[in-house]
């Protein structure tokens, strides 16, 4: 009984809604067509902007998580009873500290590719969570909070896309909604859905916190090489 309740918290169900025209997409997050001779920002500027976007995305996820801890969403006794801080959303990358080891400017293609992939997966999950808000028909929605998280993730992906193109790296394979876990239980109780969102917001913060040091390491290397 307890297991099924916990499992229900982590279900992400339904079909992902395609973005409206002219919105950012994973394969074109900047909504732009690069010219044959684009002018890119310096590596130092790109890394600095990426770090800033990571901070903003993390802050938006923190607002979402804090909102969910209010009694209007998750009762205080439920937070302790289910130990939500020890749970994780299936298939959602958390990024391990070891993924940042030995990141250097001369050998960072693997790092940029992995970061782009994992940020894309997070966007897919947030888009699904946002779809759930707009189709659930309940009063206590989290549309604004999830919209902000999604917007800052796309801002981050756009900066990543610009940096990747500036390095002459070509991306051809992009993640899609197939990364979402299969539905293994369906629960309609609001409190269960809110607990799922809490775990989601927490995992977003963990991912961004773990991702940031790699870019800081690259930025410090570039700054240290300047005359």
Write down the domain spans for the chain: 41-225
Residue 186 has pLDDT above 70, yes or no: no
Local confidence band at 133 (pLDDT 50, 70, 90 cut-offs) = confident
Q: What is the pLDDT of residue 135?
A: 72
* Radius of gyration for the chain, computed over Cα atoms and rounded to the nearest angstrom: 19
> Residue 105 gets which letter from DSSP?
T
Residue 17 has pLDDT above 50, yes or no: no
Hey, CA dihedral for 175, 102, 215, 158, is it positive or negative? negative
Range of lowest pLDDT (25-39, 99-113, 190-204): 25-39
Q: What is the pLDDT of residue 125?
A: 93
Closest to 68 measured CA to CA, from 164, 142, 174, 157:
142
- pTM across the whole model: 0.85
| CATH code for the part of the protein at 41-225 | 1.20.1250
């Amino acid at each position: 009984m307890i297991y099924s309740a916990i499992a229900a918290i982590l279900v992400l169900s339904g079909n992902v809604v395609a973005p409206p025209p002219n919105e950012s997409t994973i394969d074109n997050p900047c909504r732009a067509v690069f010219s044959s001779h684009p002018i890119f920002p310096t590596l130092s500027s790109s890394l600095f902007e990426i770090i800033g976007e990571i901070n903003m995305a993390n802050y938006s996820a923190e607002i979402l998580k804090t909102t969910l801890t209010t009694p209007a969403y998750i009762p205080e006794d439920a937070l302790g009873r289910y130990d939500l801080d020890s749970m994780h959303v299936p298939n959602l990358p958390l990024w391990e500290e070891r993924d940042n080891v030995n990141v250097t400017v001369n050998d960072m293609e693997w790092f940029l590719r992995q970061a782009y992939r994992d940020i894309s997966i997070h966007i897919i999950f947030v888009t699904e969570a946002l779809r759930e808000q707009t189709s659930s028909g309940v009063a206590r929605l989290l549309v604004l909070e999830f919209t902000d998280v999604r917007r800052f993730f796309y801002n981050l992906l756009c900066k990543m896309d610009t940096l990747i193109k500036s390095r002459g790296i070509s991306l051809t394979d992009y993640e899609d909604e197939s990364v979402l876990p299969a539905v293994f239980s369906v629960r309609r109780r609001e409190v269960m859905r809110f607990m799922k969102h809490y775990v989601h917001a927490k995992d977003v913060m963990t991912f961004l916190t773990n991702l940031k040091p790699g870019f800081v390491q690259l930025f410090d290397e570039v700054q240290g090489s300047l005359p």
